[in-house]
Amino acid sequence: MKLRLKLGVVFTLATGLLYGQSSVRLETPQQEQIISRHIYGHFAEHLGRCIYDGFYVGEKNDSIPHSDGVRKDVIEALKNLNIPNLRWPGGCFADTYHWKDGVGPKAQRPAIVNNWWGGVTEDNSFGTHDFLNMCELLGAEPYLAGNVGSGEVQELADWVQYVNFKGESPMSDWRRKNGRQEPWKVKFWGVGNEAWGCGGNMTADYYTDIYRKYATFMSDWTNGSGLYRIASGANSADYNWTETLMKKIPSGLMKGMGLHHYAVINWDNKGSATQYSEEEYFKTMKSAWFMNELVEKNIAIMDKYDPKGLVDLIVDEWGGWYAVEPGTNPGFLYQQNTMRDAMIAGMTLNIFNNHARRVKMANLAQAVNVLQAVILTEGKNMILTPTYHVMEMYKVHQDAKLIPISLQSTDFEFNQKKIPAVSVSASQDKQGRTHISLVNIDPKKNNKVRVDLGSVKAAKISGRILTAENLRDYNSFKKPTTIKPVVYNKAKVVNGGAIEVDIPAFSVIVLELI
């Protein structure tokens, strides 16, 4: 049985392959396709300890090194990922957030009750200036999610003017009064979030009309300000939502369309982040692999209504979602991060890379202390998760030229159900170096992979591998480096035009060929 991907990836499920033996062929691109760096974006919501006590520890903190209240260690760690963009303030929180409450003198800002996440009271000390200045420290483009659910059109239009307008106006004058002379020139704007759910429980038709209205007043009728407006897209497999938006929103009003999907075992019983069974592991991987089908079917709908490819697919929430760590606030969504999460990250990023024609941005949920975080903090301490290390290993693909592949993979089987064990993506950077990322999600079996290089030459091969002694291993504050990348030097050149790679069970490998 074969599953063919539009970008030349072919997965063979089961039959005809030797035990533990897979094969990959690097194809010659028919046209140049760049893997957008924005696929490697992140997400920071006012949720649990993501913003407060994660990114932001306050200007008066004298125990944790910071820059205007933002942790320096977090900034440096994210800069090491070449973080391209950061989405804020939500998530569900976005459609209850009124940005004007978060500017001006901090002592005068009104408090807000975060009803979505834990019912905590926030003092609004982290607002627009704090976030956008932090993005400048990170070297990342901000992605602002506008309040459509409980906000008004004028409120969003004012926000655009406040952060982007250089001339004289009520909003730009107020910005200057609050200490910022030059505008930030924010390009990426979400017009609401999860409008089908926490963003207002809207129907697709109703949201389409609301979107058109809000998008119109964010700029002039020609979008002369060049805003990259992103519509609130489908919840996982709601293809009718995608079709309605593509059919009824003119491409001149919409540059991107969102998609949200989490790898979840069961929404009513998500299971432990660290103490999971083999069955739970398989179900998580199956849910993560479903992203491939979601992307392909959404692209097919988009191609139907937008054959010129004017609208991009933006997967602005993805990742693993489990039960919170014992003893923590259930509304804070704090979970540990094991090799299972590294498998989710490697597989998902390969999917996005291979569909780079349409997938132009994605945002892992979330950056610090929430869901599949790349960073966890505890007081003065900070640790990097297995997911962080995958993102760091994969940064070589950012803005590189996609190399299409054909893949024949053995299966990861459980209880007579199966999904591909191996996923792969490849690219060539501006210096001419080829990078191949390979993931083996099978928890028990090594996988020998033969890579036919095609026209790619390999005078020298180097690599790194991320794996662990146990699938359930993770980095803790007591043992922060249990899982980290190490040198991989077992790739062998065979027959001149091919290499062989032995991928251990539950491992991620990135090779560099020069």
Quote the pLDDT of residue 221.
Answer: 83
Q: Please report which residue ranges of 165-238 form alpha helices under DSSP H.
A: 170-177, 204-217
Quote the pLDDT of residue 457.
Answer: 86
What residue spans define the domains of the chain? 23-27+405-513, 35-398
DSSP assignment of 259-283: EEEEE-S-TT----SSS--HHHHHH
Task: Supply the pTM of this predicted model.
Answer: 0.94
Using CA atoms in the order 189, 192, 193, 198, what is the torsion angle rounded to 10 degrees?
Answer: 160
Quote the pLDDT of residue 406.
Answer: 96
Quote the pLDDT of residue 495.
Answer: 81
Closest CA to 245 of 209, 279, 197: 209
Q: Active site includes 317?
A: yes
Quote the pLDDT of residue 3.
Answer: 38
Counting as low any pLDDT under 50, the low residues of the chain are 1-19
- Catalytic residue of the set 317, 378, 500, 512: 317
Which phi and psi (to 5°) does residue 402 adopt? -65, 135
Quote the pLDDT of residue 29.
Answer: 82
Tokens of 395: 């940064």
Residues contacting residue 177 through CB under 8 Å, at least 6 positions apart: none
Tokens of 440: 């083996």
pLDDT in tens, 47-74: 999 999 999 999 999 999 999 999 999 9
pLDDT in tens, 439-453: 999 999 999 999 999
Rounded to the nearest angstrom, the gap between the alpha carbon of residue 268 and the centroid of all alpha carbons in its chain is: 24
The pairing of beta strand 507-513 with beta strand 461-466 = antiparallel
Instruction: Please report, as a single letter, which amino acid is at residue 115.
Output: N
Which CATH number describes the domain made up of 23-27+405-513? 2.60.40.1180
DSSP assignment of 278-309: HHHHHHHHHHHHHHHHHHHHHHHHHHHH-TT-
Strand, helix or coil at 228? strand
Quote the pLDDT of residue 16.
Answer: 33
- Catalytic residue of the set 45, 141, 194, 392: 194
Quote the pLDDT of residue 496.
Answer: 74
Which residue spans within 338-470 are E strands per DSSP?
359-364, 375-378, 381-384, 401-403, 405-408, 411-414, 417-420, 422-428, 434-440, 447-452, 461-466
Q: Active site includes 293?
A: no
Q: Is the dihedral angle over the CA atoms 206, 199, 151, 302 positive or is it negative?
A: negative
Closest CA to 189 of 85, 98, 92, 83: 85
The fourth-level CATH superfamily of domain 35-398 is Glycosidases (3.20.20.80)
